[in-house]
Amino acid sequence: MVESSAFIHRFEPATAPGLPPLLLLHGTGGDENDLLPLGRAVLPGAALLSPRGQVLEGSMPRFFRRLAEGVFDEADLTKRTHELADFIADARTRYGLQAPVALGFSNGANIAAALLLLRPEALAGAALLRAMAPFAKPPEAQLSGKPVLLLSGELDPIIPAANAAGLAATLERAGAAVEHHVLQTGHGLSQADVGLLEKWLAGQRAKAA
């Protein structure tokens, strides 16, 4: 079990009742502060848990190593995914949280997808922004209706459309309730992403009420 102190992180307690906590997972070169404004914007009043990736690529934090752009070190990814799941479990006890919904961008979305496949109990759901398939041969998982939002960019130079579609199909085969949108944008986030995130999170909140 990895202790929470192993991850530098930010935590903001909830200020409104009945909202799922958000686990904010930054992209390459980001940190624990990057996605806090987005989390506050798309689900105001929710508890926010935002760890910093523990791997450095040069000076840029990441959640796991890669061998080249789009080529992941799957052994490291597996190890780091279990470490992150253990951190989530410890943080839930420390802060009194229910299972969070992951909100991940790029590298953070990729490890969130890996969490769904390797440690599905860690998450109540996930919003994956510019995610790609984390494993060449995905492990078997039982996601039993777990809600997943996948937002891809049609003009994304990093993630081929077929890869994002393959990830959506993998999660659907595992039983997840997947909502996949392909936006007219590149790898960066757009206002359309924010609007879809707000709508999806509002729907999840309504189902839980």
Instruction: Give the per-residue pLDDT at 4.
Output: 44
Q: Is the pLDDT of residue 94 over 60?
A: yes
Q: What is the mean predicted confidence (pLDDT) over 2-10?
A: 71
| DSSP strand pairing (66-68 vs 71-72) | antiparallel
Q: Is the pLDDT of residue 120 over 50?
A: yes
Active-site residue (options: 50, 106, 152, 193): 106
Instruction: Give the per-residue pLDDT at 124.
Output: 97
Q: Is the pLDDT of residue 3 over 70?
A: no
Beta bridge partners of 71: 68
Percent of the chain at pLDDT exceeding 90: 90
More confident position, 21 or 4: 21
Q: Is the pLDDT of residue 70 over 60?
A: yes
Which two structure tokens, joined as six digits, stand for 107?
A: 């590298």
Active-site residue (options: 34, 86, 156, 193): 156
User: Is the CATH number of domain 4-208 3.40.50.1820?
Assistant: yes
pLDDT tens digit string along 133-166? 999 999 999 999 999 999 999 999 999 999 999 9
Q: Is the pLDDT of residue 91 over 90?
A: yes
Rounded to two decimals, what is the model's pTM?
A: 0.95
Instruction: Give the per-residue pLDDT at 166.
Output: 97
Q: Is the pLDDT of residue 206 over 80?
A: no
Active-site residue (options: 31, 73, 82, 187): 187
Q: Which residue has the tokens 């789009």?
A: 70
Q: What are the two backbone dihedrals, phi and then psi, of residue 112, each rounded to the nearest 5 degrees?
A: -65, -40
Phi/psi region, residue 81 (left: phi>0; alpha: psi -120 to 50; beta: rest), is: alpha
Active site annotation includes 156? yes
Domain boundaries defined on the chain: 4-208
CA torsion 125-33-45-110 (nearest 10°) is -10
Instruction: Give the per-residue pLDDT at 208.
Output: 62
Q: Which residue has the tokens 């080249």?
A: 68
Q: How confident is the model at residue 204 (pLDDT cuts 50, 70, 90)?
A: confident
Dist. CA 11–CA 2, nearest whole Å? 18
Instruction: Give the per-residue pLDDT at 209.
Output: 59
Instruction: Give the per-residue pLDDT at 67.
Output: 87
DSSP 8-state assignment for residue 188: S
Q: Is the pLDDT of residue 5 over 90?
A: no
Query: What is the distance in angstroms between the CA of the first residue and the CA of the last residue of the chain?
Result: 33
Q: How confident is the model at residue 128 (pLDDT cuts 50, 70, 90)?
A: very high
Instruction: Give the per-residue pLDDT at 52.
Output: 97
Instruction: Give the per-residue pLDDT at 205.
Output: 75
